[in-house]
Amino acid sequence: MQFSDAEDTLEDLPPSSKFIYKELTREGSMTLKGITEATLLGSRTARYGLEKLEEAGLVESAPAIHDGRQTCYSIRTRSMGDDRMGYPERLLVSPESARDMLSKFEADDPEFRLVEVSSTYDDGHIPGAVALDPQRDFSEAGSRTVPSRERLATILGERGITPDSTVVLYSDGVNEFAAFVYWVLKHYRHRDVRLLDGGKQYWTENDYRTTEREPDVTPVEYDVQPPNDQIRAYRDDVQDALSTDVTLVDVRSPEEYRGETSVPARASGHIPRTVNVEWTSVVQDSGRFEHRSALEQPFLEEDIDGENGIILYCNVGERSALVWFALSELLGYPHVQNYDGSWSEWGNLVDAPVESPRRSETDPGGWQAIGEIFVPIYHIRVANPVILSFPKETEVHAVYLRSVWTIYWCSVRELGAR
């Protein structure tokens, strides 16, 4: 069911049903106990509200995954046709549903905000969409980054987004930029955020309406909540995972995984014990997500069930955010984290373990990597003292030389002390 239709249906239901529907939209699947605690409704009132929602076709129930004695309620999935299994509109909005909502997106109403995450917004966008530039708003020193609470409050407030706004995100490509922003908003506990299935690619290829007109938006105040680090992995989490049963998944291309292509780091290859599942496997050529069975298939083939946790990475956390959305949100895998530092961080660490056909199995990312930096421009003779001889015709920037010299000597001291 499209969420525009759901609103019309809710108008005829009792207040208890509306309270429950709102909480299910925010939280996803909930037990009766969770619903009564969240809404402060009595058990009988909550049951009555759920009964009316089920009769209206807005809510469905199923045994709880971790306790079959309990029943979980969730927003009813929509029928997607073409033998596709539906995904909840509270997560993934169909292009048809978004088209029907254009009048609400075009109105300056903070209840609904459509956001294009791209650098090509001025070339044409969906009517009513506000712009968010990933290069400007989510980058620092040339790398993708998670903004601070203060910075995010400014970004969202300037675009008329409140903590209660329903935010629908899309981007060009196959929605990887939008998925990254979705993950950031979830990291900061925004209640209702969704992706437009297919993104800008599907929208334009199917001749849906676009415009170059920028909507008028009234700025608001946004109070950003403390982050939820359960969905974010840091460098230490990845290091710890190397000695546990946590599954590490590299979602880059096989060529990047094997270290055969250039990457934004000093080292190429992958983190040890990593499984390679390419990010493009979760979407169709049209840009829309695969149906449920096809979506899960590449992970089942690698025996990835998520029982002990999953950490995903790519180069800067965008492609892995798209796979995080597929696993955590669409398939419901528990304990899935996105390592947004990804290879741009790990591949630049001097002493981080790296696997690649180009590297020796015992190289921890130290000696060989240092040699890779020095060899192209000068000869190294390790003696006492160390003598560096440069070709006369080679011009070396002083700042670069000092940086490389510091890296070399720090590594010599650290590795020599072992």
- Residues 6 or more apart whose CB falls under 8 angstroms from that of 182 comprise 169, 193, 194, 195, 321, 325
Tell which of 12, 42, 75 closes a domain: 75
- Residues 6 or more apart whose CB falls under 8 angstroms from that of 1 comprise 9, 57, 58, 76, 78, 89
Element (H, E) at 185: helix 176-187
> 154 and 108, same structural domain?
yes
CB-CB contact of 79 with 86 (8 Å): yes
Q: Is residue 10 part of a domain?
A: yes
CA 268/CA 365 separation, integer angstroms: 10
Nearest to 197 by CA among 96, 126, 115: 96
> 107 and 210, same structural domain?
yes
The single residue of 58, 72, 265, 314 carrying the catalytic annotation is: 314
Q: Is residue 14 part of a domain?
A: yes
Q: Is residue 323 part of a domain?
A: yes
User: Measured between alpha carbons, how far is residue 36 from residues 28, 69, 167 in Å?
Assistant: 15, 18, 26
Classify each residue of 290-309 as buried b or exposed e, where b means 16 or more C-beta atoms within 10 Å of its C-beta.
bbeeebbebbeeeebebeeb
CA 316/CA 241 separation, integer angstroms: 19
Tell which of 195, 226, 257 closes a domain: 226
CB-CB contact of 97 with 151 (8 Å): no
Q: Is residue 354 part of a domain?
A: no
> 125 and 221, same structural domain?
yes
> 215 and 97, same structural domain?
yes
Which CATH number characterizes residue 18's domain?
Answer: 1.10.10.10
CA 276/CA 397 separation, integer angstroms: 38
Note if 410 is an active site residue: no
345, two tokens? 């961080």
> 208 and 98, same structural domain?
yes
> 200 and 122, same structural domain?
yes
CA 181/CA 188 separation, integer angstroms: 11
> 220 and 96, same structural domain?
yes
Q: Is residue 55 part of a domain?
A: yes
Q: Is residue 357 part of a domain?
A: no
Q: Is residue 360 part of a domain?
A: no
Nearest to 137 by CA among 159, 170, 168, 122: 159
Residue-number span of the structural domain to which 40 is assigned: 3-75
> 213 and 120, same structural domain?
yes
Q: How many domains does the chain have?
A: 4
> 302 and 182, same structural domain?
no
Q: Is residue 84 part of a domain?
A: no
> 387 and 400, same structural domain?
yes
Digit-by-digit pLDDT tens for the chain (418 residues) are 455 566 678 888 999 998 898 888 777 678 898 899 889 999 999 999 999 998 888 888 877 555 556 788 887 754 333 334 468 888 999 999 999 999 999 999 999 999 999 999 999 999 999 999 988 888 765 566 899 999 999 999 999 999 999 999 999 989 999 999 999 999 999 999 999 999 999 999 999 999 999 999 999 999 999 999 999 999 999 999 999 999 999 999 999 999 998 777 889 999 999 999 999 999 999 999 999 889 999 999 999 988 899 999 999 999 999 999 999 999 999 899 999 999 999 999 988 999 987 654 434 444 444 444 443 433 333 333 333 433 433 334 444 444 444 454 444 444 444 4
CB-CB contact of 3 with 18 (8 Å): no
